[in-house]
Each structure stands twice: as C-alpha cells, then as structure tokens.
Amino acid sequence: MIDIQYSSEVQAAKSEGRAIVALESTIITHGMPYPQNVEVAAQVEQDIREAGAVPATMAVIEGVLHVGLEPDQLQALGQAKGVAKISRADMPACIATGGTGATTVAATMIAARLAGISVFATGGIGGVHKGAETSFDISADLMELAQTPVTVVAAGAKAILDLPKTLEVLETQGVPVIAYGQDSFPAFWSAQSDLKAPLRMDTPAQIARAHATRQAMGLPGGQLVANPIPADAQIAAEDLAPVIAQAQSEADAQGIAGKDVTPFLLSRIFELTDGRSLTANIALVRNNARLAAKIAQELNKLTR
C-alpha cells in the first residue's frame, strides 16, 4: 500500500467534491532558484484557486507521496538540496527507500491517478529530443500520456525538442493532442508554430467531455491540451531558433546527455535571452493553470 498524505486543502476539496488540479514539483526544485521558485509555485497555486479549483502540488517527501503541500512544506522543498528528479522509472524506488523527490510530468500523472485527480497543469511536456534517431532520447512523458488517464494542460512540448517527431510519437501512441483555440500546435515560448495540431477545441467544456468520453469508451491514456502562451509574453520562434541551436551545439560539444540535457539547454537559453525565457515560462505556466482549473470544473460537473 502506498502511503499518501493529502494537504488539508486537498483533503477538504475531496470531501466536498470540488475540482482539483495537479501540479508538478520539479519547477520548484529544478526550475529556478530560491526564493523565486517558491514565490512562483505559490502564485500558480493561487491562480488555480482564483479560477475556482484547488491546487495539488505533488512531491515525494521522505518516502511519502504528498498530494498537495502545506505552505511550510513548499518552503522547505524550495530550499532543499539534493532532491531527486523522479519519473516513472525511479518514483517507486524513491518511495520505497524513504527518499525525497520532485515529480516530473510522468510522475505527476501517476500521482494524480493514484489520488483520483484527472487534470494536471504544467509548463511544457517532454518529448523527442533532436538527434533521437541515433540517441533514442525520448521522454517518458509521451508513454505516460498513452497509458495514464489524466488530461495534461501544457504550452505544447518544450521548444528545445524535435516537435514534428514528438507529434508523430503521440499519434502512434494514440494520444489526443488538442490545440486550445487555434489550429497550429503551440511551441512553448511561441504561441504559433508551422505544425498543424491534430485536434482543436475552443472551450473547457469540450475538453472535459472529450476526457469523459475517452474514459467511458474504456480507452487507456490521457490527452494533451496544447494551450498557447499569451501573445504579450511570447518570444517569436524566429528569435528563438538561433538561440536554441547555439545551446544545443554547446551541449553536444560538452557531451551532455540523458536527464542533464534539458536543464542545461534551459539554463543556457535563459542566459542567451537575458532572462526572457524564464519570464515567458512563468507566464505560460500561470496561463495553463487557469485553463486547467476551468477544465477540472467542467469535468466535475460531468462526473458528480
């Protein structure tokens, strides 16, 4: 039996049948420095409350899966050192050995399923890395979407990835990819890309119905809602392309691989854009949180 600890707020929401939105914790431990990490995490939680739902930030703390963090736990996690970044492969080991780990997209989806939460807001999912045809570097997030019944609201996949190949893998795995309010697949820091989204929906109610219908049909997996970054916060794709190329070239030259690739690239892009990438990242996460809260409320109406 997995030991799950619910925050007082989440426990009350479950008792009252209120809408809940899952949040990951790697943004706290691996995304930005203290105290900005805690400030942003608290702001995203507040965005969800103001949009009518309850936030549930996921983390493993000393072998216990926490669904929702109390304010003091959020502060402690934000200052902790040596926190593991856990995904499907190492999440059970972290719990079994009494470890502390921050949840990635895949691990947060697993935690949400265990807690009976159907909607999750994040920044951008992982995907197929450039050069994957030789490295086979493909994020576990894609396979998690194919098997775990959670609707994930993201600003597409991270722009450092091979977006066409990421969409191909999602299609192969039978994952619905829904662009919110537009036809093109958003590219994380940029609202538009030259890739057409497989599906388009314009209201939270439509997205909620799609989730419920998938469950009613007995189909495994969740769905990806690709929510474009607000126009006033985006960085144009043509401005980002040479920056991403430079960061990727530096990673290759330094032999950086595996789990270290994404943090390195995001750090270098932050430096090369004079911090604009982080400002955009915060804006898109908050935007996704607000949409996820609306979807969770609509889904709650369908399932109550």
Judge whether 152 and 106 are in contact, CB under 8 Å.
Answer: no
| Catalytically active residues, by annotation | 24, 158
Direct distance between the N- and C-terminal alpha carbons of the chain, in angstroms, rounded to an integer? 27
DSSP 8-state secondary structure symbol assigned to residue 259: G
Count each helix (H run) and each strand (E run) in the chain, helices first: 13, 11
Is the separation of the CB atoms in 272 and 247 below 8 Å? Answer: yes
**Is the distance from CB of 232 to CB of 189 less than 8 angstroms?**
no
Enumerate the β-bridge partners of residue 4. 65
Compute the distance between CA of residue 280 and CA of residue 69 in angstroms, rounded to an integer: 25
